[in-house]
Structure 1
Amino acid sequence: MPQPMIWFDFGGVLSPPLDELFDSYHARTGITPRQMKTALAAVAAELGVEPLAPLELALLTEAEWGRSMVRVLRQADPGIDLSRARFEEFGRQWFEGVRANPVMVATARHAKEHGYRVGILSNNVVEWEPYWRAIVEPVGEVDCIVDSCVVGVRKPDPEIFRRAEKEAGVPAAECVLIDDLAENCAAARSVGWRAVHFRNNARTVRELAGLTGLPALV
């Protein structure tokens, strides 16, 4: 029986949790997570999409999105201090100092060493590629990368999993997704994938071993 292909999400699996990144951004810029999330939703609502979809589907460039964020933040709070924020090159500032999740990096490398295929399946942003690729560099070479901003569809749309299967040449039954969002895991399962809902490192490693037979990390 062929080895499964293990697909790792980037944000929240190979990278730190999103809430941790919001807190870090708050510390650097003074903009609170609540302010950011409200503005994200407002910009996306103007296009009739989910909060991060304008970037993750490349509906707006980073610079266009950044100008919209500044506009809606100032509309909501005319006195807001945005002097420390650089929205038109948001990714550079957002990912500053971010390091990969060492346990998930080790898990990916361990899987490759045991003959498993490894991919990255992520909702991501065109202009952020240099930053996130640098973060996941410790994983080493992977078999396939599928980005929402490239294929034009984002999780949890089931179509992105079909695109991933085609890109990697791997049938659904051989695909396993590790993702921090339950709705993405449910969508993957709906098209015949297996999935591990990432909640913490230890549980994820244990559940992945149960699904794939990958030996435990030493």
Structure 2
Amino acid sequence: MKLIITGGAGFIGSNFVFHMLKAHPDFRVICLDKLTYAGNLSTLAPVMALPNFRFVKADICDRQAVYQLFEEEHPDVVVNFAAESHVDRSIENPAIFLETNIMGTAVLMDACRKYGIQRYHQVSTDEVYGDLPLDRPDLFFTETTPIHTSSPYSSSKASADLLVLAYHRTYGLPVTISRCSNNYGPYHFPEKLIPLMIINALHDKPLPVYGDGLNVRDW
């Protein structure tokens, strides 16, 4: 089994790389990552020398590079973790989120159509569902909850999800989508809430509180 894991030098992607190599030592795992500010190649140091692991620095929006990798490896499964994922950054500069999260997804699925795969898996986010009121703890998101995005980031991820479903319906591409809630753990980038709070608290710095579109720094 050959897997291409995009965004595998990032927080969640790298943990998935480690899991797959440990749980399936007979698999070949190819990590494709652009190495933006959120990607760290040193994270993958423990597996870089493994004979069944390969790292490729490339952008999922680079059609030529993606097609070349598929031509060389002919993967069975593609798992797409690659994404711009910070809400504040998406408000400041939506364009890069639209390019990476939507057009990059399209390039990957076109490559899957061209070379054939057993499955394409899109790693999405629960943020496509929007917000839940704090005074209604009985409410939950489900797979049938309507999409109700609230930022360029969540809108770009929802757009990618709809594109994935369209490729399945139009071309018969075998796809799955997961929309996980907030993750935390090893290699978490320090701009995210939990590591940011911990680091700021350790250095006696203000703790940012987000809500209703405001960022209050008076804690």
What TM-score comes out, normalization by structure 2 length? 0.33
- Structure holding more helix per residue: 1
Work out which structure has the larger RCO, using CA pairs closer than 8 Å and 6 or more positions apart in sequence. Answer: 1
